[in-house]
Amino acid sequence: MTIIDRARDWASHDPDPATREELNRLIDSAVSSTADGAAATELESRFAGPLTFGTAGLRGRVGAGETRMNRAVVTRATHGLMSWLNEQVDGTPTVVIGCDARHGSADFRKAAAGVVAAAGGRALVLPAQLPTPVTAFAVRHLGADAGIMVTASHNPPDDNGYKVYLGGRVAPGPAEGVQLIGPADAEIADAIAAAPPADEIALAWEKAEHVDVLDAYLARAGEIGRTFPAADGARPNLRVVLTPMHGVGGSTAVRALEAAGFTDVHLVPGQAEPDPDFPTVAFPNPEEPGALDLSMELAREIDADIIIALDPDADRCSTAVPDADAPGGWRQLTGDEIGALLGEFLASRGENGGTAEAPVLANSIVSGRLLGRIAEFHGLRHETTLTGFKWIARTPGMIFGYEEAIGYCCDPGHVRDKDGVTAAVTMCSLAADVKGRGRTLRDELDDLARTHGLHATAPLTFRVADTSLISEGMRTLRSTPPRELAGSPVVECVDLLDGYRGLPPTDGILLITRDDDRVIVRPSGTEPKLKCYLEVVLSVEDGGPVPHGTAGARLERIRSDMAAATGMG
């Protein structure tokens, strides 16, 4: 079939009048006598192949066609999921369905629930516009066999997505409530490919059950915060600036913080309510430059103690702290700094995760190596996993896990995924404890550097319009890796496709220098980016100053060297 034939066939089976009309207009433009080729190119993009389960399930631009996120794609994806679930479990599969506030999210949630109910499943529909971690919580809390979360997390405004969690009957033990991995993802993909056209799939929205677990989730979040009193038993007042980045985490995070005893919380006015267009930020991601500008303005105005920034579906959490040496008097912590602070805080509190074995701190391979030193110091085990919480959250005995991309799992017994809301509660508990002792979070970081060495990390990211440049950059590195970084010889160069220290193969390159600097390069699993993860480790003299400036300068030299080495500088 030609692209035009495939597009016409898809349009004839599209159950959504809006996307069907959109696609028919595009077809007409592509075949008209005055066509300029742009419409044909757009059709090729929309039929470049079906969306497949990747790092975070399905993700794509909202629009008509098999390569876009739309009701037809969601309907067929859910049919494939239900076909697979009906083969995996005895009796009636139970599926929880939630959604954020992005374009199309509520409609996609309704379509997914209708398919589940019509396919013989029990569809438990959460209220619209709730954080992703509430859906992850609901899978374990309700004993569901699967969870569907309609979200594109921190992707650009035009995107949406479809994330799948598996319950205990399908994925028992520490995998209960975790995002799916292989072989389930490939098996479900095969079932989706075998699904009939969307308009031939039965829907039974009227049979869906509406459930609400938010109060239970908030009660647990408050319990987490109340287990971390200040050293003298009295928690000082903590003034918090909170931004949900135009996403769905604002009211939930405020209620969670209040349940934990934090009542002096100030939402950034221009970013407080859900808005799928994310009007005040270039990208709705707290890590992006400028994303916290409004938060810092408010923090200076009210003399806040801490800034908490959530991404749009509130599964990620960033933090900024007062810093007289930073421009504007505030500094955003790196994802690795937050991970080290939270890991030290939880490890020092003697958490055991309900297991008799030594508890585990876990992080992805691209995250910094400081958490491993912290675990060893406290007599805990440490595990390194592949990138992504579908790997981190599967770690047996884990009491805390994180990835450098501001994802933190502080309560794995209840949410087996990254959770920005409970991370915010835990970070504010730490900040209150530190404030009560007359110290700052920067003091805590410096103490970690004096104990374990300064582990300074930084990202180097190349966003591209042409994704072939990513493959070309990886080929360049594999064929001609750098011989030295920041003047130190590269003593270890590992192609992660061959596996590494017991980890399964993954697309990436790892470099370690004689000075113990480390770089990992990999393609992003969710965005058109080539990502480099840089880490410098420097010793700190006993009682001496922490060499932040030296580390920063060294990171800049490595950044320049890697830009040249990838050919993307």
DSSP letters spanning 155-203: S-TTEEEEEEEE-TTTS-GGGTTEEP-TTHHHHHHHHHHTSPPGGGS--
Residue with the larger pLDDT of the pair 25 and 355: 25
List the one residue out of 307, 359, 349, 350 whose CA is nearest residue 328.
Answer: 307
Instruction: Please indicate, yes or no, whether residues 487 and 549 belong to a single structural domain of this protein.
Output: yes
Residue 29, domain extent: 1-48
Instruction: Please indicate, yes or no, whether residues 119 and 223 belong to a single structural domain of this protein.
Output: no
Would the pLDDT of 526 be above 80?
Answer: no
Would the pLDDT of 346 be above 60?
Answer: yes
Instruction: Please indicate, yes or no, whether residues 433 and 294 belong to a single structural domain of this protein.
Output: yes
Read off the pLDDT of each residue in 334-339 and give the average, rounded to a whole number. Answer: 98
What share of the chain in percent tops pLDDT 70? 96
Contact (Cβ atoms closer than 8 angstroms) between residue 224 and residue 133: no
- CA–CA gap between residue 136 and residue 433 (Å, rounded): 29
The pLDDT value given to residue 465: 85
The pLDDT value given to residue 470: 92
Residue 519 is part of a domain; what is its CATH number? 3.30.310.50
Name residue, tokens 């308009």.
199
Instruction: Please indicate, yes or no, whether residues 541 and 461 belong to a single structural domain of this protein.
Output: yes
3-class SS of residue 518: strand
Report which residue type is found at 37.
G
Contact (Cβ atoms closer than 8 angstroms) between residue 474 and residue 509: yes
State the DSSP string of 135-157.
HHHHHHHTT-SEEEEE--TTS-T
Instruction: Please indicate, yes or no, whether residues 245 and 284 belong to a single structural domain of this protein.
Output: yes
Read off the pLDDT of each residue in 555-568 and give the average, rounded to a whole number. Answer: 94
Read off the pLDDT of each residue in 398-422 and give the average, rounded to a whole number. Answer: 97
Residue 117 is part of a domain; what is its CATH number? 3.40.120.10
Instruction: Please indicate, yes or no, whether residues 205 and 69 belong to a single structural domain of this protein.
Output: yes
Instruction: Work out the pLDDT band at 54, boundaries 50, 70, 90.
Output: low
- CA–CA gap between residue 549 and residue 565 (Å, rounded): 24
Instruction: Please indicate, yes or no, whether residues 298 and 342 belong to a single structural domain of this protein.
Output: yes
Read off the pLDDT of each residue in 116-132 and give the average, rounded to a whole number. Answer: 98
What share of the chain in percent tops pLDDT 90? 88
Q: What is the pLDDT of residues 466-519, one digit of tens each?
A: 888 899 999 999 999 999 999 999 999 999 999 999 999 999 999 999 999 999
Instruction: Please indicate, yes or no, whether residues 41 and 185 belong to a single structural domain of this protein.
Output: no
The pLDDT value given to residue 545: 93
Q: What positions carry a catalytic annotation?
A: 153
Q: How many domains does the chain fold into?
A: 4
Would the pLDDT of 40 be above 70?
Answer: yes
The pLDDT value given to residue 353: 56
Instruction: Work out the pLDDT band at 226, boundaries 50, 70, 90.
Output: confident
Read off the pLDDT of each residue in 50-69 and give the average, rounded to a whole number. Answer: 87
Instruction: Please indicate, yes or no, whether residues 13 and 80 belong to a single structural domain of this protein.
Output: no
Q: pTM of this prediction? A: 0.95
Instruction: Please indicate, yes or no, whether residues 122 and 237 belong to a single structural domain of this protein.
Output: no
> To the nearest whole number, what is the mean pLDDT of the chain?
94
Last residue of a domain, which of 387, 417, 449? 449
Last residue of a domain, which of 425, 449, 473? 449
Instruction: Please indicate, yes or no, whether residues 372 and 335 belong to a single structural domain of this protein.
Output: yes
- State the DSSP H helix or E strand holding residue 374, giving kind and residue range, or none if neither: helix 370-377
Render the burial of 124-162: b for 16+ CB within 10 Å, e for the rest. bbbebbbbbbbbbbbbbbbebbbbbbbbbbbbebbbbbb
Q: What is the pLDDT of residues 442-459, one digit of tens each?
A: 999 999 999 999 999 999
Instruction: Please indicate, yes or no, whether residues 81 and 26 belong to a single structural domain of this protein.
Output: no
Instruction: Work out the pLDDT band at 228, boundaries 50, 70, 90.
Output: low
Last residue of a domain, which of 404, 425, 449? 449
